Amino acid sequence: MKIPIDPVCLVPFLTGFFRFMAWSLRFECHGNLQSIIESNKKGQPYVIAFWHGELLPVSCLAHTVSPHFVALISQSKDGEVIAGVLERLGQKAVRGSSSRGGVKALLQAKRIMEKENRMAVFTMDGPRGPRHKAKDGVIFLAQRAGAKIIPVRAFPKKKKIFTKSWDHFVLPMPFTRCSAYIGEPMEVTTEKLDKDVMAREKERLERRMHSLKPQEQ
């Protein structure tokens, strides 16, 4: 008889795997990451925004530079696993997504940012896409928290891309070099976020994200 395995049981293994990946990757950073870290320590709030498909290499980079983040994670079973890994790594996780519990999670993340001076990390096209199209949440959170958005991308030299997944998930090969691009902080408008204003801000952020890439691409 086949015995189903609760994926939450894999959290200790996945935490170890993540620590190994973060240790093994050789990051080459383009952009002033250290000044952002120092500015946050002095009280400037930030939202780190990246594409869902680049979640693993960007998360590895974040783990190597600071343990002081709060992440928004979906309420799915997969999200429960990810949240468990993050908690073991000393990060905070709030549960919610664009399809379920989103506003409550965003407001909870805002409170944690203010109380503990943590930077938020946000997969801006997750949890289900469309790929490379920003959702409202990243703009909403940044405005409510008075935070600047930092667009981040990561390009491992050796990788496996899962092209059948909606996000083209990127799995870096251990010990590979990984170019990370940290964009200039983006200040979100203070205007009321009606439909047109939200669309304009998302498009502005998407342009910044698409500009972050190696010259040969």
Which residues lie closer than 8 Å to 40 by C-beta, 6 or more apart?
46, 66, 68, 117, 119
Would you say residue 150 lies in a domain?
Answer: yes
Q: Residue 149: count other Cβ atoms within 10 Å of its Cβ.
A: 29
Residue type, 177: R
What does each of the 217 residues of the chain score in pLDDT, given as a tens digit?
Answer: 344 667 778 899 999 999 999 999 999 999 998 899 999 999 999 999 999 999 999 999 999 988 789 998 888 777 888 889 999 999 999 987 666 667 889 999 999 999 999 999 999 998 889 999 999 999 999 999 999 999 999 999 999 999 999 999 999 999 999 999 999 999 999 999 999 999 999 999 999 999 999 876 5
Q: What is the pLDDT of residue 1?
A: 39
C-alpha closest to that of 107 among 143, 134, 76:
143
Rounded Cα gap, residues 203 and 133, in angstroms: 9
Chain CA centroid to CA 4, Å: 30
pTM given for the model: 0.92
| Full residue range of the structural domain in which residue 161 is found | 7-209
Residue 163 resides in a domain: yes
63, 18 Cβ separation under 8 angstroms: yes
Provide the number of structural domains found in the chain: 1
Residue type, 193: L
Is the Cβ–Cβ distance between 104 and 98 less than 8 Å? no
CATH number at residue 114: 3.40.1130.10
- The answer to whether residue 215 sits within a structural domain is no
List C-alpha distances in Å: 82 to 22, 127, 134.
15, 12, 21
pLDDT of residue 11: 92
Whether residue 216 is contained in a domain is answered as no
Q: What is the pLDDT of residue 98?
A: 62
pLDDT recorded at residue 136:
95
Backbone torsion region of residue 162, taken as left when φ is above 0, otherwise alpha when ψ lies between -120 and 50, otherwise beta: beta
